[in-house]
Amino acid sequence: MFEKGYIDENYVRVSRDELFSFVVRVLTKLEVPEKDAEIVAHNLIMADLRGIESHGVQRLKRYVDGILSGGINLKPSIRIVREGPSYALIDGDEGLGQVVGYRAMKLAIKKAREGGIGVVAVRNSNHYGIAGYYALMAAEEGMIGISMTNSRPLVAPTGGVERFLGTNPIALAAPARDRPFLLDMATSVVPIGKLEVYRRKGKPIPEGWAIDSAGNITTDVEKVFSGGALLPLGGFGELFGGHKGYGLSLMVDILAGILGGGTWSRHVKNTSEKHSEVGHFFMAINIEDFLPPEEFREKMSRMIDELKSSRRHPDFERIWIHGEKGFLTMQTRLKIGIPIYRKVLEELNSIAESIGVEKLKAGGEDGRA
Ligand SMILES: NC(=O)c1ccc[n+]([C@@H]2O[C@H](COP(=O)([O-])OP(=O)(O)OC[C@H]3O[C@@H](n4cnc5c(N)ncnc54)[C@H](O)[C@@H]3O)[C@@H](O)[C@H]2O)c1
């Protein structure tokens, strides 16, 4: 059974259903409408199921803090500001990012169904979790889905030392024979959540992920958190293409921020703050308006098969395709439960205690803890 991530005795397993109902009971207790709480739970648990620990339930505390501090609007009036047959601009009214994002992608899919393509820009939202969640919504409808969001500044531009860019993820999902292709990635070398995982474990970060406040490459995670910055995809300087990651990050700010009348990452704030000004961008492309869907799937699958059977480097066990590790990890975790770091379990249970809901029960579906 394949699992993505490093799992050791510091983890306990929790079944998917228990984790889902835990997130829903916490959020509904805080007066998030049940349907909205379920959307957030789906998004966080999809991240944990697919091995993206940094964007799973360990994020719940931030959303709880955002709700308690009034930074998140629990009953937003998410409205269409402007629209045409193939596009829309949505104002998220500072609702939970997942709820705003879900509605916006649904609208993009509807427009694509009617007119071949749907583009939706969103302003005034909040942190929306994994970008791939929304791209997959379109792939499940037989479409190509694209999803992007800007995020608070954590990344230095090439040649700079200041946190200016967000980790601004991009996702593209497309149907294929067995399972969708899913490219879902930060435009920085790593997202900040990965540093949080290293920090919690007290481990040095790999060289090349980040710089300290003076601009030196560092492996000391504390130096990054105290004034340092992440590096754009491609790393430090121009040698390995850092300027390309920097450009991709700006591409996200243009589409997810400026196009929707919002802002760019430097001005985006934490979800717990009011007016965090996060923006998103969604696109759905209805494949059947371009060519027969079977032909598309067949060509996708041939391309994937050719890639996987191409000549492999001896240091690698196989050639992976985007989305594959996450899918296999999900299959494993649906069977034996999701690994949750013990400190995260403690944090989740202290939230449960403080608001008076039942604690999270550890122990996977096969009884493994
Ligand atoms: N909401 C936000 O503000 C925000 C910000 C940054 C990142 N994120 C999310 O963080 C998550 C993690 O981002 P990341 O950059 O660490 O992703 P990652 O490096 O884990 O994976 C990036 C992509 O590469 C694929 N992949 C992994 N190994 C591969 C291989 N050997 N060959 C081919 N493909 C391979 C994955 O399937 C994925 O599509 C994403 O879901 C992203 O949306 C969210």
Provide the β-strand partners of residue 339: 13
Q: How does pLDDT run across 187-220, given as a tens digit for each residue?
A: 999 999 889 888 988 999 999 999 999 999 999 9
Instruction: Measure CA 47 to chain center.
Output: 7
**pLDDT of the residue at 219:** 98
Q: How does pLDDT run across 4-31, given as a tens digit for each residue?
A: 877 888 899 999 999 999 999 999 999 9
Residue type, 45: I
Q: 8 vs 52, 272, 348, CA distance in Å? A: 16, 31, 19
Q: Please, which contacts does 104-109 make with residues 24 or more away whose CB atoms are closer than 8 Å?
A: 104/134, 104/280, 104/282, 105/134, 105/137, 105/138, 105/145, 105/147, 105/282, 105/284, 106/137, 107/80, 108/138, 108/145, 108/282, 108/283, 108/284, 109/137, 109/138, 109/141, 109/143, 109/145, 109/284
**pLDDT of the residue at 368:** 54
Please tell me if the CB atom of residue 249 comes closer than 6 angstroms to any atom of ligand 1. Answer: no
Percent share of the chain, pLDDT over 90? 91
Q: How does pLDDT run across 246-270, given as a tens digit for each residue?
A: 999 999 999 999 999 999 999 999 9
Q: Which of 275, 258, 270, 265 is nearest to 94 (CA)?
A: 275
Instruction: Give the mean pLDDT of 281-309.
Output: 98
Q: How far is the CA of 130 from the centre of ligand 1 (A)?
A: 9
Q: 93 vs 244, 265, 279, 283, CA distance in Å? A: 33, 18, 11, 21
**pLDDT of the residue at 363:** 80
Q: How far is it, in rounded angstroms, from Cα 211 to Cα 223?
A: 8
Residues labelled catalytic? 127
Please tell me if the CB atom of residue 130 comes closer than 6 angstroms to any atom of ligand 1. Answer: yes
Q: How far is the CA of 252 from the centre of ligand 1 (A)?
A: 15
Q: How far is it, in rounded angstroms, from Cα 134 to Cα 132?
A: 5
Please tell me if the CB atom of residue 113 comes closer than 6 angstroms to any atom of ligand 1. Answer: no
**pLDDT of the residue at 201:** 84
Please tell me if the CB atom of residue 205 comes closer than 6 angstroms to any atom of ligand 1. Answer: no
Dihedral (Cα; 205, 209, 215, 217), 10-degree rounding: 60
Q: Which atom of ligand 1 is nearest to the CA of 323?
A: 37
The yes-or-no verdict on residue 365 having pLDDT over 70 is no
The yes-or-no verdict on residue 82 having pLDDT over 90 is yes
Q: How does pLDDT run across 325-354, given as a tens digit for each residue?
A: 999 999 999 999 999 999 999 999 999 999
Average pLDDT, the chain: 96
**DSSP code for 208:** T
Q: Which atom of ligand 1 is nearest to the CA of 325?
A: 37
DSSP helix/strand/coil, 20: helix
Please tell me if the CB atom of residue 103 comes closer than 6 angstroms to any atom of ligand 1. Answer: no
CATH numbers and ranges of domains, the chain:
11-189+231-298+321-355 (3.30.1370.60), 194-230 (3.30.60.50)
**pLDDT of the residue at 338:** 96
Q: What is the pTM of this model?
A: 0.97
Atom 35 (ligand 1): residue with closest C-alpha? 322
More confident residue, 320 or 365: 320
**pLDDT of the residue at 197:** 80
Please tell me if the CB atom of residue 164 comes closer than 6 angstroms to any atom of ligand 1. Answer: no
Atom 19 (ligand 1): residue with closest C-alpha? 185
Please tell me if the CB atom of residue 271 comes closer than 6 angstroms to any atom of ligand 1. Answer: no
Q: Which atom of ligand 1 is nearest to the CA of 129?
A: 1
Q: Which atom of ligand 1 is nearest to the CA of 324?
A: 37
**DSSP code for 363:** B
Rounded CA Rg of the chain: 20
